[in-house]
Chain A
């Protein structure tokens, strides 16, 4: 899993970043089942996050990957086919509200030497999580360009000692979670 790719909503070769959401049973080994489907097609997983969903007992994976629509559609169908997967969808950036979080660690001495700390904090909406004699830990949430922008600006001015960005988390813009439809349908099938 690399994070060095430009997020680039639209890449020049017809590929773009897709967000795949997978709803699954809460069981061990699910990640393996999902990741091998990407591996077989030699697709890089750009980011990944896993959490419980709003529905009890159902886990939600949010995965981003750069590819073309034809491929992502096939990948999603193959994920969907797994017995332990309840439903899988893919989205473009327009379909979802999404967020990432990044943490930055710099030396306190260099940080204080910046001079324009207030400007920086206002410009990037930074939160300071920790400040000690040795180091300052900052947090920024936002889209890739935003967290990356701060990283780049800091890098030109001082040494970033540590930097980490979370996987994307996202929520669809549509009115209801499509999974609820799906679950209703499953319940209907079960009753038959």
Chain B
């Protein structure tokens, strides 16, 4: 039986075969045949028209990060496609599964500088796992199958499909076959027992072990396996920014965040531990500081799915290649039950110091202007610490990551590797759609909020119930902080002249409140969570607040400034 279909319809059917339920997009000339087909599928996809293609990409990221599913974007060629580049690069850095489908000039016009022709495959090669141009209708189904296979397996990441216009209108036979194998791409390596043995031996002989937990644990859905591993051998853990929420904040062995603005304990202890077990993390420079002085005393065991990460930044003593969902239980099996009470207690002194010098003044001030930390903690507690945290970038991001608390996994959606301002609002839209049953709190600075502010339109149209909080300091605060510390307080280009954010929210019909005092804050939080509607809380905070602790860039992890 013949099953001839137009290319655009083949795409729709292929997306359904991949269980796609949500598409973030923006139409335009060279993708119009596909949007025309989409018109017939509006009841089968939740289609979200963002207000800018960057928003579509970040929304797809937010959706993917909370749901574990692949985020999908549909945009036009040329400017539509280039507008997604920031989101694609961000997804590449943070291993977020994404399939971006962009229109392209017809095959016959390629290479002629046709209207809105951009060499998208060329542009995206360095920032994707795979970029592919679809030039004929027969090519669509196999390309989509391969794209979804690649995006959401192995070390996850973004894939681009450059969809020539002629392929959208041509006819072809539709016969969908899922892709489970592509030569040259081995997403999962079988766990090598001798690597497990070597790692187990090192960990079993450790007196002062420290685990470094990264997003790999979350991406692998290996939270339970992580817990079993840590608990059996009594190993304290530090988290990377993206690894936050893999382990509940209040878990006895959770010693907090690593790196530049992490907690003092895990940073100091990195250079005291005799064995470090890195689990699904990649020794980013924001975590390690100066590599020449990083954990030199320790034997390092590295569990990761990506062989290119092994020995990349830090030379490891024993590597365990593979999905941590598979490797962790095998390793746990070979571990001896242990107690490292004294070692774990040795963190206390640093916790107490940080608590006194940094945390208490930030989270529980009794006078003076609002502090970012106290706003974050109050909001976290108002959600019973069960919400999804989405952040923008800057001081707001670090304060939110530090002072929000996590009881469930997949609770942090933040731009880690790329540090993309403007990530917050659209990522929150995607997160709310990806996890509709959860409360989504999005913290942004006054700067970053204005980078994708147009997405308030998307929130208005779809009534997406995200709770947005601007931690307003009237500065590009994180840059101002560096200027204060390292550039003699020369505030070049960092003071912000801001609009009335509330009036903007009003224009979009989004309920909002601007607060300056603790009483106002408490009342506004109550109001914010009174219903499921979108809300904007503008918290005017101390203008020249500082994020501490801080390991200055390129310094040894133990050189931590406390203020």
Which residues in A have some Cβ–Cβ distance to B below 8 Å? Answer: 24-25, 29, 32-33, 36, 40, 73-74, 77-78, 80-87, 183, 186, 189-190
Residue of B nearest to A23 (CB): B184
Q: Specify which chain B residues have a CB less than 8 angstroms from the CB of A36 in the assembled complex.
A: 125-126
Residue of B nearest to A190 (CB): B181
Q: Shortest distance in angstroms between A80's beta carbon and chain B's nearest beta carbon?
A: 7
Q: Specify which chain A residues have a CB less than 8 angstroms from the CB of B122 in the assembled complex.
A: 29, 32
Q: A32-B122, A81-B306, A81-B308 are in contact. Are A87 and B186 (CB under 8 A)?
A: no
B486 near A: Cβ within 8 Å?
A: no
Can you show 8 pairs from A to B with CB atoms below 8 A apart?
Answer: A24-B184, A74-B311, A77-B307, A80-B308, A84-B184, A86-B183, A186-B184, A190-B181
B459 near A: Cβ within 8 Å?
A: no
**Are B125 and A29 touching (Cβ within 8 A)?**
yes
Q: 5 tightest CB-CB pairs across the interface, nearest first?
A: A86-B184, A77-B308, A83-B185, A83-B130, A190-B181
Please provide the chain B residues from 97 to 136 with a CB less than 8 Å away from any CB of chain A in the complex. Answer: 121-122, 125-126, 129-131
Q: Specify which chain B residues have a CB less than 8 angstroms from the CB of A77 in the assembled complex.
A: 307-308, 310
B292 near A: Cβ within 8 Å?
A: no
**Are B186 and A32 touching (Cβ within 8 A)?**
no
Q: Specify which chain B residues have a CB less than 8 angstroms from the CB of A40 in the assembled complex.
A: 126
Q: Specify which chain A residues have a CB less than 8 angstroms from the CB of B121 in the assembled complex.
A: 29
B150 near A: Cβ within 8 Å?
A: yes
Complex formed: what's the CA distance from A80 to B154 in Å?
14
Q: Specify which chain A residues have a CB less than 8 angstroms from the CB of B310 in the assembled complex.
A: 77
The interface size bin for chain B is 20 to 34
Partner of B182, one of A74, A78, A83: A83
Residue of B nearest to A57 (CB): B183
Q: Specify which chain B residues have a CB less than 8 angstroms from the CB of A190 in the assembled complex.
A: 181, 183
Q: Specify which chain A residues have a CB less than 8 angstroms from the CB of B181 in the assembled complex.
A: 189-190
B312 near A: Cβ within 8 Å?
A: yes
Residue of B nearest to A24 (CB): B184
Q: Shortest distance in angstroms between B330's beta carbon and chain A's nearest beta carbon?
A: 19
**Are A74 and B184 touching (Cβ within 8 A)?**
no
**Are B184 and A25 touching (Cβ within 8 A)?**
yes
Q: Shortest distance in angstroms between A59's beta carbon and chain B's nearest beta carbon?
A: 12
Q: Specify which chain B residues have a CB less than 8 angstroms from the CB of A78 in the assembled complex.
A: 308
**Are B186 and A33 touching (Cβ within 8 A)?**
no
Q: Specify which chain B residues have a CB less than 8 angstroms from the CB of A74 in the assembled complex.
A: 308, 311-312
Partner of A83, one of B126, B184, B307, B312: B184
Complex formed: what's the CA distance from A108 to B339 in Å?
86
Q: Specify which chain B residues have a CB less than 8 angstroms from the CB of A183 in the assembled complex.
A: 183
Q: Specify which chain B residues have a CB less than 8 angstroms from the CB of A32 in the assembled complex.
A: 122, 125
Complex formed: what's the CA distance from A86 to B181 in Å?
13
**Are B308 and A83 touching (Cβ within 8 A)?**
no
Please provide the chain B residues from 172 to 191 with a CB less than 8 Å away from any CB of chain A in the complex. Answer: 181-186
Q: Shortest distance in angstroms between B353's beta carbon and chain A's nearest beta carbon?
A: 38
Residue of B nearest to A36 (CB): B126
Q: Shortest distance in angstroms between A72's beta carbon and chain B's nearest beta carbon?
A: 13
Q: Shortest distance in angstroms between B129's beta carbon and chain A's nearest beta carbon?
A: 6
Q: Specify which chain A residues have a CB less than 8 angstroms from the CB of B183 in the assembled complex.
A: 25, 86, 183, 186, 190
Complex formed: what's the CA distance from A45 to B449 in Å?
44
Q: Shortest distance in angstroms between B20's beta carbon and chain A's nearest beta carbon?
A: 21
Q: Specify which chain A residues have a CB less than 8 angstroms from the CB of B125 in the assembled complex.
A: 29, 32-33, 36
Q: Shortest distance in angstroms between B91's beta carbon and chain A's nearest beta carbon?
A: 16
Q: Specify which chain A residues have a CB less than 8 angstroms from the CB of B130 in the assembled complex.
A: 83-84
Q: Specify which chain A residues have a CB less than 8 angstroms from the CB of B186 in the assembled complex.
A: 186, 189
**Are A87 and B184 touching (Cβ within 8 A)?**
yes
Complex formed: what's the CA distance from A25 to B306 in Å?
21
